[in-house]
Structure formats: C-alpha cells, structure tokens
Amino acid sequence: MRLTAVLFAVLLPTAVSAQESAPAAEDAAVLRRIYDAALVDSPMYGQLRELVEKHPGRLSGSKNLEGAVLWAKAELEKLGCDRIELQAVQVPHWERGAKESAVVRSASGRTASLAVLALGNSAATPPGGRVAEVVEVKSLDELRQLGRERVAGKIVFFNRPMDRRHISNAPAYVGAVDQRTRGPALASELGAAAALVRSMTFADDDVPHTGNTTFPAGVAPIPAAALGVSSAQTLANLIQTPGATVELKIHARTLADALSHNVIGEIRGAEAPEKVILVGGHLDSWDVAPGAHDDGAGCVQALEVLRVLRAAGHRPRHTIRVVLFTNEENGIRGATEYARVVGEKNEVHLLALESDSGGFAPHGFNLGNAAGDAHLRAERWLPLLKPYGIHFFQAGTGGVDVAPLMRFGYTVAGPTQDAPRYFDYHHTAIDTLDKVQPRELQLGAAAMAALVYLVDRHGP
C-alpha cells in the first residue's frame, strides 16, 4: 500500500458541527479527549509488561497471583482512588506439579511423544505413569453410547475440532469445549483410566491449551490433559490399528482452598455516588500462561479507563469502580463473592463492563440485561462512536465475572473483539506480551472509557 490516490480524510474525528445539539457536541468533545488520552503516551503497555513478566502464571492459590494482587493495589493507589479494597475470597488451589508427559505406542511398536498439558482439576496418575489403550470419540454422546464395557480402564480421547464454519470465536469455542469441561467426568463415570482432549484452537500447531475440567460431587477425578492439535492428529493416526497404548504421567494435586482477593478501587461519583459503574478484568491466569491477552489486557484496560476519564477532564456523576477479579479461570469464586456482597449491600450497578476476550481493537460491544434491550438503547450512541471504529451493539454478555450481576437486573457489557488470533494463545504458554499490539490495546481501553462516560452521563 502506498500513498497515491488514497483519498481518505486526514482530519481527526472531532466534535462540533452546527447541527449537533449542545449535549451531543459536549459528548463528542469528551470522546475526542478520551481517545487522545488513550492513544498518546498511555502507560498501559508498560503496566501489562510488569504484570505478565513479574507475575506470570497467576493461578489461584499461587504466590504469583497474590503478587499480582499487591501490584494491582499499588496501581490503583497511583491512580488516586477514593477507596481501595482487597476483598477476601477463598479460592480453589490446584497445582500441576512436575511436567506431565504422554507417549503413544502403536500396535507395531512405533512411539511418539505428545504435546500434553494437564487440565485444571486433573487427578494425578501413579508416579510411574499409567499405561492404557485409547478409545477415540468425537462427542460426549458417542462416549455414552460406547458404554462402560468399552470404556472402562481405557484412556478416552476427545478429538472433535472446533467447527471452522463459525465466524465468531465464542460459538466455535462453546461448541467444542464441552469435551474439556464435562468430558473427563463422563469418562470417569464410565470407568475410564484417564482422558485426553484435543486443544480448543484453530491454530495449525502443537501448542496444548489447558483449561478447567469439572468433576461433580460423587464423580472421582481422573487424570485429564489437553493435547496439541498435531499431537491429537498423531494420536488419531497411531491408534487406527487396535492395540496402541498411551503412557500418561500427570503429577497434579488439589490442595486446601487458599486465600485470594478481588482488587477493588473506585472514584466516588459527584452526584449519585451510591450508583456504580463497574469496569473490570480478571487477575488470575493459567499456571503456564503469562496471561497477556487472558486477561492481563482486561486488567490494565480497566485501570486505564479510570486514568483516561480523569485525563479527559470528566468528573464522574456516579462511582466508577475498577474490579480486578480473582479465580475466573477455575472457580469464578471472585465473581461469586463480589455478586454476593452486591446483593447483600444492595449496591446499584448502572453497568458492569468486563474485557475478557483479549487486548484487541473492538468494533462493537455486547450488552446484556434482563429486558434484552440494552443493546438497542445503546444504538443511540453509534453516531458518536462510529468515527472511532465502534460500529455496533449486539445482545450478549460481558465477561464471565460480571454475568452474575444480571440476576439483580443490572446491565452487563463487554467489548466485542472476536479476533481469530485469540484462540491461538488462549490458556497457553505463548499468551505473551508480544502477542498484544499496543494500539489495539489502547483502542480497546478508549472504547471502554467512552462507553463508561456515556453511561455515566446519560444512563445505560
């Protein structure tokens, strides 16, 4: 691409035209100042670097997570919050232990090491490993139909890819992740020795993606791990001939619940401080993950919303509250406790906005409320937001941590990024700082600040 014949206007989107009403002109001027503050000299990328490089692997129960809690508190102090709170939460404490391994041996004696990563809540194998035959299935239904007789003592291998025909990330993920979240428990109920799950990604590589799996009360946890995509393909090939086995070693353990904290900081509203606009992310990450996109990005964007609103000269009418949740990845205990306290104190929330789909540039927002019309009402702001690349509001939820607030009738939201790249990195060791592009991160924070401003000014 080069210059010639590029006819784009070089003018910046600005505020005031003669036809605009005075409030619209004021809104446009504030939005311009918000974007200026976010795009020029933002500290956010440096904050993200600190978070992911000093406190990587922020899994619940880890020292790194509590280190991140103190880091976040210090950042809120620098922002001059009116109130800062560490909200205590008891969180699950699962540890991977020594590096896991899996080796497949075909009927003909050919062996291959598989890229493998234990899932959260996985049980351990015996220390020397567990050797068993493998049964491949594409769905939980298929596993059920096989029945105990053909599953007991085997390693169940869930190998249904995400459906490439989906346009958005979320339905592709939701449409496959039952294999990871509920597959190992079903395998356990049928007497399986262990479970292996193809990673939730479209990437054509061999990076295993961990994530949580759940064993309901009464179902014995079994060893369970994710496989990289090419390892899944290798395994599928080598078990074509009956008699192949996998030797799996997992050293995980589940400890007693640990103390963690939601980190809360707020600027008190000037007119109706009892009404809250929440902007959040989650501090925890998987143990192997630096957690740059998931969800270091959301955390620094939440902090940045406070900073840019102030830099833009906006004095909030309502209380603007940053909440950096703990334990999103394997328990949602932080969100549960936060919602419990909101209910107990009857704290009205005008909006609860969470960025938890990566530090990419959003092109719209999801908005959800009980009436199902929050996104339709927000469309009145599109003329103000389109010059900034925000083109739609759609019905949907915000992040997982704000979803529980919907039961009080509050409106939740999240930026709609839908970057296909997100699932290349999600829950992996390669979710590193270099995968986050500074301006994409900044455009996300600016859009969030713009929405917070508009709700503060005009209501949701």
- What would the 3-class secondary structure string for 377-422 be? HHHHHHHHHHHHCCCEEEECCCCCCCHHHHHHCCCEEEEECCCCCH
Question: CA neighbours within 13 Å on the CB side: how many for 175?
Answer: 15
Question: Of 158, 155, 159, 215, which is closest to residue 189 (Cα–Cα)?
Answer: 215
Kindly state the tokens that stand for 446: 């600016």
Residue 61, CA distances (Å) to 256, 260, 295 in order:
9, 7, 17
Cβ of 201: how many Cβ atoms within 10 Å? 25
Residues 6+ apart with CB under 8 A from 48: 292, 296, 297, 300, 359, 433, 436, 441
- Determine the interface stretch with a second copy among 51-59, 264-272, 306-314, 417-425 (rule: CB under 8 A): 417-425
Q: How many residues make contact with a second copy (CB under 8 A)?
A: 69
Using DSSP bridges, classify how beta strands 245-249 and 130-137 pair: parallel, antiparallel or unpaired.
Answer: antiparallel
Minimum distance of a second copy from residue 424's CB (angstroms) = 7
Mark whether 328 is an active-site residue: yes
Of 104-112, 235-243, 259-267, 439-447, the segment contacting a second copy by CB under 8 A is: 439-447
Residue 67 or 175: the one with the smaller Cβ distance to a second copy is: 175
Place of tokens 């936060």: 338
Q: Which of 16, 70, 98, 174 binds a second copy (CB under 8 A)?
A: 174
Under 8 Å between Cβ of 391 and 364: yes
* Cα angle, residue 25 at apex, residues 440 and 416 outer, rounded to 5°: 30
Map the footprint of a second copy across residues 260-299, applying CB under 8 A: 294-295
Q: Which residues contact 250 (CB under 8 A, 6 or more apart)?
A: 97, 100, 118, 122, 123, 124, 125, 194, 223, 224, 225
User: Does residue 92 belong to the site contacting a second copy (CB under 8 A)?
Assistant: no
Q: Report how far residue 222's alpha carbon sits from residue 216's, in angstroms, rounded to the nearest whole number.
A: 12
CA–CA separation, 77 and 83 (whole Å): 9
Instruction: Determine the interface stretch with a second copy among 3-11, 19-27, 122-130, 218-226 (rule: CB under 8 A).
Output: 3-11
Is 418 a binding residue for a second copy by CB under 8 A? The answer is yes
Residue closer to a second copy, measured from CB, 189 or 356: 356
Q: Does the footprint of a second copy cover residue 253 (CB under 8 A)?
A: no
Does the footprint of a second copy cover residue 175 (CB under 8 A)?
yes
**Tokens 């918000």, located at residue:** 34
Residue (114 or 286) nearer to a second copy, CB = 286
Closest approach of a second copy to the CB of residue 149, in Å:
30
How far apart CA 411 and CA 397 sit, in angstroms, is 9
- Please, which residue, 211 or 460, has the CB nearer to a second copy? 211
Which 347-386 residues touch a second copy, going by CB under 8 A?
356-357, 361, 363-364, 368, 386
Give the nearest distance from C-beta 99 to a second copy in angstroms. Answer: 23
| Pair 222, 195: CB distance under 8 Å | yes
Cβ contact 106:239 at 8 Å: yes
Q: Which is nearer to a second copy, 38 or 263 (CB)?
A: 38
59 binds a second copy (CB under 8 A): no
β-pairing, 318-325 with 130-137? unpaired
Interface with a second copy includes 216 (CB under 8 A)?
no
Which one of the listed residues 328, 329, 337, 354 is annotated catalytic?
Answer: 328
Instruction: Compare residues 169 and 245 and give the one whose CB is closer to a second copy.
Output: 169
One character per residue 383-402, x = contact with a second copy (rule: CB under 8 A): ---xxxx-xx---xx-xx--
183 binds a second copy (CB under 8 A): no
SS3 113: strand
Stretch that binds a second copy, among 33-41, 96-104, 127-135, 312-320 (CB under 8 A): 33-41
Please choose, from the candidates 65, 123, 68, the residue with its C-alpha nearest in 3D space to the C-alpha of residue 327: 65
Q: How far is the CB of 84 from a second copy (least distance, A)?
A: 26
Which CB, 221 or 362, lies closer to a second copy?
362
Residue 67, interface with a second copy (CB under 8 A)?
no
The single residue among 421, 430, 432, 457 that binds a second copy, judged by CB under 8 A, is: 421
In whole angstroms, how large is the CA radius of gyration of the chain? Answer: 24
Cβ at position 332, least distance to a second copy in Å:
6
Question: Closest CB to a second copy among 116 and 332?
Answer: 332
Does 5 sit near a second copy (CB under 8 A)?
yes
Catalytic residues: 328
| Contacting residues toward a second copy, per CB under 8 A | 1-13, 35-36, 39-40, 163-168, 170-171, 173-175, 177, 181, 202, 204, 211-212, 294-295, 328-329, 332, 356-357, 361, 363-364, 368, 386-389, 391-392, 396-397, 399-400, 403-404, 418-422, 424, 426, 437-440, 443
